[in-house]
């Protein structure tokens, strides 16, 4: 049984949901949350557990090998969420992505090996496989064809885990989740951006024709799978995590507007993302064999997410009024000035 879990990147979206789940499900487990608090890290995501004696926060960067090793000492399990996670930012500049997603992953693995940590879980992504369709879903041992700088940096970290399992016998397991949606997701990502813009009566910037497809995996389903993999995943194995809630971006935008009772003409078609992957699709029978099933379908996932943001303006309003505004202007200023309106579209 795990006594002390080192979590890297636990102040972000999935990491904070995971820590909350872990502490509720494993009352004996202690957590060390090691996080650099980049723009995406937010201590408020874990305000409800911050005073728990089983929880400790360490402000540190995974690119700093000595800091990682010092904070990990005494832990018997490790989960690595720490990453630069946004594809559009990686298109602007991927230097931090290489530093955190590759060097940082390497440092976490080295420390876990040297400290003889019993179990390591590394969070990768479905994007390492590159585009795939329902007719030809990717399996865990399929080739990687990552197409964005983000996906390449994640593929490199993922492969490093396999090297550590093979070379040093490290008990490391890799999780490859689909697109997560739910509470505490930074509003640069499509779903929280669309929801919060809709709540403010602002345009929903849909890239290209909006026909690109993503799974919408509710984050609570994902963190259940992650705890299962941390405890029961096999050494050196990767596991796909998908909810089969695939839907196009334009349909997702319309669902959000339906749930919030807002007009479709808030949708604006804007210049597409460069190298935009049309769809990801995975076979997840390996995870199903461990007993996991998603509990939230697409409609439930979107409705819960939209309601959470409607009820938590105090969480996202400070984010959207801070540095985020400069990013928003860079990413969407020209796009929205040259947008194609929703009205009259046949999409
Ligand atoms: P996020 O951007 O919300 O959070 C990332 C966290 O990592 C933040 O708390 C940030 O402060 C921290 N961090 C960043 N650089 C760091 C560094 N150098 N050292 C220490 N901490 C650092 O990301 P997320 O959406 O929660 O994603 C978590 C993980 O899951 C990432 O590895 C991501 O690639 C992967 N993933 C995410 C999704 C998704 O839909 N969000 C899907 C598949 C995989
Ligand atoms: P995103 O949430 O950035 O996740 P990822 O690129 O990692 O899948 O984007 C999800 C989908 O939404 C993707 O097809 C790109 C699209 N998208 C938009 O149409 N508009 C936006 O403003 C953003 C951020 C994304």
pLDDT of residue 221: 99
Nearest CA to ligand 2 atom 8: 179
171 CB within 6 A, ligand 2: no
How remote is the CA of residue 343 from the centroid of ligand 1, in Å? 36
Tens digits of per-residue pLDDT, 171-219? Answer: 999 999 999 999 999 999 999 999 999 999 999 999 999 999 999 999 9
193 CB within 6 A, ligand 2: yes
Report DSSP state, residue 291.
Answer: T
Decide if pLDDT at 163 tops 50: yes
Report DSSP state, residue 184.
Answer: T
Whole-number Å distance between alpha carbons of 321 and 16: 22
pLDDT of residue 266: 98
Tens digits of per-residue pLDDT, 56-93? Answer: 999 999 999 999 999 999 999 999 999 999 999 999 99
Nearest CA to ligand 2 atom 21: 190
Decide if pLDDT at 346 tops 50: no
Query: What does 58-115 look like in DSSP terms, one character per residue?
Result: EE--TT-HHHHHHHHTT-SEEEE------HHHHHH--HHHHIIIIIIHHHHHHHHHHT
Pick the CATH number of 4-181+217-241 from 2.60.40.420, 3.40.50.720, 2.60.120.10, 3.40.50.2300: 3.40.50.720
Band of pLDDT at residue 1, cut at 50, 70 and 90? confident
Mutate to test the pocket of ligand 1, among 7, 19, 40 (most ligand atoms within 8 A of CB): 40
pLDDT of residue 44: 97
pLDDT of residue 18: 98
- Which tokens is 290 given? 């461990």
Decide if pLDDT at 345 tops 60: no
pLDDT of residue 96: 98
How remote is the CA of residue 84 from the centroid of ligand 1, in Å? 6
- Cα-only R_g, the chain: 19
Residues with CB under 6 A from ligand 1: 8-9, 11-15, 35-38, 40-41, 61-63, 81-85, 100, 104, 123, 125, 154, 177, 179-180, 186
Nearest CA to ligand 2 atom 5: 87
Average pLDDT over all residues of the chain:
97
pLDDT of residue 344: 52
36 CB within 6 A, ligand 2: no
For residues 142-171, average pLDDT = 98
Tell me the catalytic residues. Answer: 126-127, 150
From the list 41, 43, 47, 3, the residue with the least C-alpha distance to 22 is 3
pLDDT of residue 2: 85
How remote is the CA of residue 56 from the centroid of ligand 2, in Å? 33
More confident residue, 2 or 236: 236
For residues 29-40, average pLDDT = 98
Whole-number Å distance between alpha carbons of 11 and 63: 16
Domain boundaries of the chain, sorted by first residue:
4-181+217-241
Mutate to test the pocket of ligand 1, among 20, 83, 221 (most ligand atoms within 8 A of CB): 83
Query: What does 143-154 look like in DSSP terms, one character per residue?
Result: PP---SHHHHHH
pLDDT of residue 322: 86
How remote is the CA of residue 194 from the centroid of ligand 2, in Å? 10
Nearest ligand to the CA atom of 271 = 2
Shortest-distance atom of ligand 2 to CA 125: 7
In the chain, what percentage of residues exceed pLDDT 90? 97
């Amino acid at each position: 049984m795990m006594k002390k879990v080192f979590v890297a990147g636990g102040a972000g979206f999935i990491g904070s949901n995971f820590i909350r789940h872990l502490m509720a499900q494993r009352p004996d487990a202690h957590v060390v949350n090691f996080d650099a608090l980049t723009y995406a890290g937010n201590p408020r995501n874990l305000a409800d557990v911050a005073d728990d004696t089983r929880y400790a926060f360490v402000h540190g960067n995974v690119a700093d090998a000595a800091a990682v090793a010092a904070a990990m000492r005494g832990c018997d399990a490790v989960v690595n969420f720490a990453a630069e996670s946004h594809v559009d930012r990686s298109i602007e500049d991927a230097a931090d992505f290489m530093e955190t997603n590759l060097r940082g992953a390497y440092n976490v693995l080295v420390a876990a090996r040297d400290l003889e940590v019993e179990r390591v879980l590394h969070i990768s992504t479905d994007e390492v496989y590159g585009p795939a369709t329902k007719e030809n879903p990717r399996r865990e041992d399929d080739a990687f064809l990552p197409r964005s700088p983000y996906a390449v940096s994640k593929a490199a970290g993922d492969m490093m885990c396999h090297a550590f399992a093979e070379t040093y016998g490290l008990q490391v397991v890799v999780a490859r989740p689909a697109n997560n949606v739910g509470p505490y997701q930074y509003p640069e990502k499509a779903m929280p951006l669309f929801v919060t813009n809709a709540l403010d009566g602002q345009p929903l910037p849909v890239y290209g024709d909006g026909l690109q497809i993503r799974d919408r995996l509710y984050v609570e389903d994902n963190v259940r799978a992650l705890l299962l993999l941390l405890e029961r995943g096999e050494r050196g194995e990767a596991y796909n995590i998908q909810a089969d809630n695939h839907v196009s971006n334009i349909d997702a935008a319309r669902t959000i507007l339906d749930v919030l009772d807002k007009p479709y003409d808030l949708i604006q078609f804007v210049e597409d993302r460069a190298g935009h992957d049309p769809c990801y699709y995975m076979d997840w029978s390996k995870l199903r064999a461990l007993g996991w099933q998603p509990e939230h379908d697409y409609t439930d996932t979107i409705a819960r997410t939209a309601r959470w943001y409607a009820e938590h303006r105090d969480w996202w309003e400070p984010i959207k009024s801070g540095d985020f505004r400069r990013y928003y202007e860079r990413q969407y200023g020209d796009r929205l000035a040259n947008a194609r309106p929703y009205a009259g579209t046949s999409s």
